[in-house]
Amino acid sequence: MSPTTTQFQRAINGCSSPPCSHHPRTRLLMPLPSTAAVDTLSHTHAVGPDQCCSAVLQTISAPPQTVWSVVRRFDNPQAYKQFLKSCHVIKGGGEVGSLREVRVVSGLPAASSRERLDILDEERHVMGFSVVGGDHRLSNYRSVTTVHPAGEGSTTATLVVESYVVDIPTGNSWDDTRAFVDTIVKCNLQSLAHIAEDLAKDVTRTTTTTTR
């Protein structure tokens, strides 16, 4: 992890108070790594007084296009989201406005989630979805994921940023909610890193074999 990325992560993890939870609209405070042009506009959220917001990032040793090829698949989130066991698109064909029904693995306080694709920008590598139903505790969950070169002009390393807003469940605190959701997002992004890095290695091996 590069120094700038470390600073970014510490800044996010080090928030001792919930600045996002007390304003009807706020920009998610994110000190951005100087080595990556992160799309701050995409990570600006409207946040209500009883909501929690946060962001998680992950560096990946794979080209941005390889990472994006996994992230963009609205129909196959379980490819890297370990807590999902199945997904069925119930409306649309992967365009904005499409709906999917995902089933959650056992052991979590949820069974299913119905989600709508809100953003799919192939040029800027931005994907966003919102939860619109299901059997779970994450009401009004909205997430945006952006994929960037990890350095200026980098074609071999990627920085992924995922931000979200969600209602704070009754009986839970801002910190409890953030800790729970952050843990899930971090696990997902770590899984994404492993999958994308394996895909990149496969491409390298295939290219090497072909050129021999």
Between these two residues, 83 and 204, which has the higher pLDDT value? 83
**Structural domain range at position 165:** 49-210
How far, in Å, CA of 142 to CA of 144, rounded?
7
67 within a domain of the structure (yes/no): yes
Report yes or no on 151 lying in a domain.
yes
- Total structural domains in the chain? 1
Closest to 81 measured CA to CA, from 198, 183, 200, 206: 183
Q: Tens of pLDDT along 109-150?
A: 789 999 999 999 999 999 999 999 999 989 999 999 999 998
Distances (CA, A) of 198 to 8, 45, 63, 153, 203: 26, 33, 11, 22, 9
CATH number of the domain to which 76 belongs: 3.30.530.20
Asked whether residue 12 is assigned to any structural domain, the reply reads no
- At a CB cut-off of 8 Å and minimum separation 6, what does 67 contact? 60, 147, 158, 160, 192, 196
Q: In whole angstroms, what is the distance from residue 202 CA to residue 55 CA?
A: 30
- The reply to whether the predicted model has a pTM over 0.75 is yes
Stronger pLDDT, 160 or 14, i.e. the higher one: 160
- The answer to whether position 20 is within a domain reads no
pLDDT per residue over 7-56, tens digit each?
Answer: 334 433 433 334 443 444 554 444 445 444 677 788 888 899 999 999 99
9: in domain: no
Domain assignment of residue 202, yes or no: yes
Q: Say if residues 162 and 190 touch (Cβ distance below 8 Å).
A: no
Q: Is residue 1 part of a domain?
A: no
| Residue 102 included in any domain | yes
**Gap between the Cα atoms of 108 and 62, Å rounded:** 31
Burial class (CB in 10 A: 0-12, 13-18, 19+), 110: middle
